[in-house]
């Protein structure tokens, strides 16, 4: 098995086990740890999680494919997630998407990010960038490259 949880994560897992009535509850938390550790969820990370929490690997795989934020392969480019849901659309997300097409990034259309009052919004590496304009997008991407 090539995937091993880091010592820090193993410690976290032991701490978390005390906080739930059953270790099965650690499914999502462990998947997050595995994803942050490698940038995506390796298939043998699923086996490692299975050993920790006692859910069959296939069941964990079903969970991974259900939740849109879990990735089974790494991002090769900067992943820019643009909200395309109604409030963002009404406030110009189409123009933002159009503009991003000329950039060397991976564009992901996502559903509502909870930034309707500060639309349009994009999320990069867990951070929301709000009240976007074309100029603002350029500045943000320059800062990240």
Binder among 56, 86, 134, 144 for another protein (CB under 8 A) = 86
Which string of x and - marks every residue 27-66 that binds another protein (by CB under 8 A)? xxx-xx--------------------x-x---xx-xx--x
Q: Is 128 near another protein (CB under 8 A)?
A: yes
* Cα–Cα distance measured from residue 33 to residue 130, given in angstroms and rounded to the nearest whole number: 27
Query: Residues with Cβ < 8 Å from 52, sequence gap 6 or more?
Result: 5, 13, 23, 26, 30
Q: CA-to-CA distance for 46 and 85, rounded, in angstroms?
A: 32
111: contact with another protein by CB under 8 A: yes
Closest approach, Cβ 119 to another protein, in A, equals: 6
DSSP E strand boundaries for the chain:
79-83, 106-110, 122-124, 127-129
The CA-based angle 90-66-14, given to 5 degrees, is 115
Angle at 12 between CA 81 and CA 125, to 5 degrees: 15
Site for another protein in 3-32 (CB under 8 A): 16, 19-22, 24-29, 31-32
Compute the least distance from the CB of residue 91 to another protein, in Å.
7
Report the interface residues with another protein, using CB under 8 A. Answer: 16, 19-22, 24-29, 31-32, 53, 55, 59-60, 62-63, 66-70, 84-87, 89-91, 110-119, 123, 126-128
């Amino acid at each position: 098995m090539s995937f091993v949880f880091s010592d820090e994560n193993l410690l976290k897992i032991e701490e978390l086990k005390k906080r739930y009535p059953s270790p099965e509850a650690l499914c999502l938390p462990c998947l997050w740890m595995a994803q942050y550790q490698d940038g995506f969820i390796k298939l043998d990370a699923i086996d490692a999680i299975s050993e920790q929490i006692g859910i069959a690997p296939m069941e964990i795989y079903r969970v991974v494919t259900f939740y849109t934020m879990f990735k089974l392969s790494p991002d090769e480019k900067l992943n820019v997630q643009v909200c395309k849901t109604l409030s963002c659309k009404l406030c110009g997300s189409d123009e933002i998407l159009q503009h991003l097409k000329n950039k060397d990034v991976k564009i992901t259309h996502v559903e509502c990010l909870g930034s309707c009052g500060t639309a349009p919004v994009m999320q990069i590496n867990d951070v929301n960038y709000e009240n976007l304009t074309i100029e603002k997008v350029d500045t943000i991407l320059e800062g990240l490259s």
